[in-house]
Amino acid sequence: MDNCLFCKIIKGDIPSAKVYEDEYCYAFRDINPQAPVHVLLVPKMHVANMAEVSLLPQDAQTALFAAIGKIAAQEKLENGFRVVSNCGPDACQSVHHLHIHILGGRQMAESMA
């Protein structure tokens, strides 16, 4: 997608602080972190959000979900972490390339919304 911010980050056209990469996924630090660890995990193939995750090939879906635990271990989030993916306007999704927020490094609020 020519006009997609995260596609540009994946291509390296816009710089990012890389945390993890494999054949199907890329992960980088959020520019405006909401917690001591705030990583954005994205599939390299453009899909808009979680409502479209089934459009990814099966291997890419598997890699995406498997990457969450790998990143959490790499970031030493052994005390826990939160995974969030905003989907659509009610969830305030601001970048329309599927991304999974991985948040940790502090006690999270009990309320998620």
| Interacting residue with ligand 5GP among 58, 94, 107, 111 (CB under 6 A) | 94
CB 41 within 8 A of CB 67: yes
Taking CB under 6 A as the criterion, which residues in 11-70 touch ligand 5GP?
A: 16, 28-32, 40
Distance of CA 42 to the CA centre of its chain: 5
Burial, 48: exposed, middle or buried (Cβ in 10 Å; 0-12, 13-18, 19+)?
A: middle
Q: Does residue 99 carry a catalytic annotation?
A: yes
Residue 86 binds what, of Zn ion, ligand 5GP, none (CB under 5 to 8 Å, by partner type)? ligand 5GP
Look up residue 37 and give its amino acid: V
| Interacting residue with Zn ion among 44, 97, 99, 101 (CB under 5 A) | 97
Taking CB under 6 A as the criterion, which residues in 68-87 touch ligand 5GP?
A: 86
Residue 32 binds what, of ligand 5GP, Zn ion, none (CB under 5 to 8 Å, by partner type)? ligand 5GP
Closer of 55 and 108 to Zn ion (Cβ): 55
CA atoms within 13 A on the CB side of 15: 1
In 3D, which of 105, 68, 110 has the Cα closest to residue 85? 68
Interaction site with ligand 5GP (CB under 6 A): 5, 16, 28-32, 40, 86, 92-95
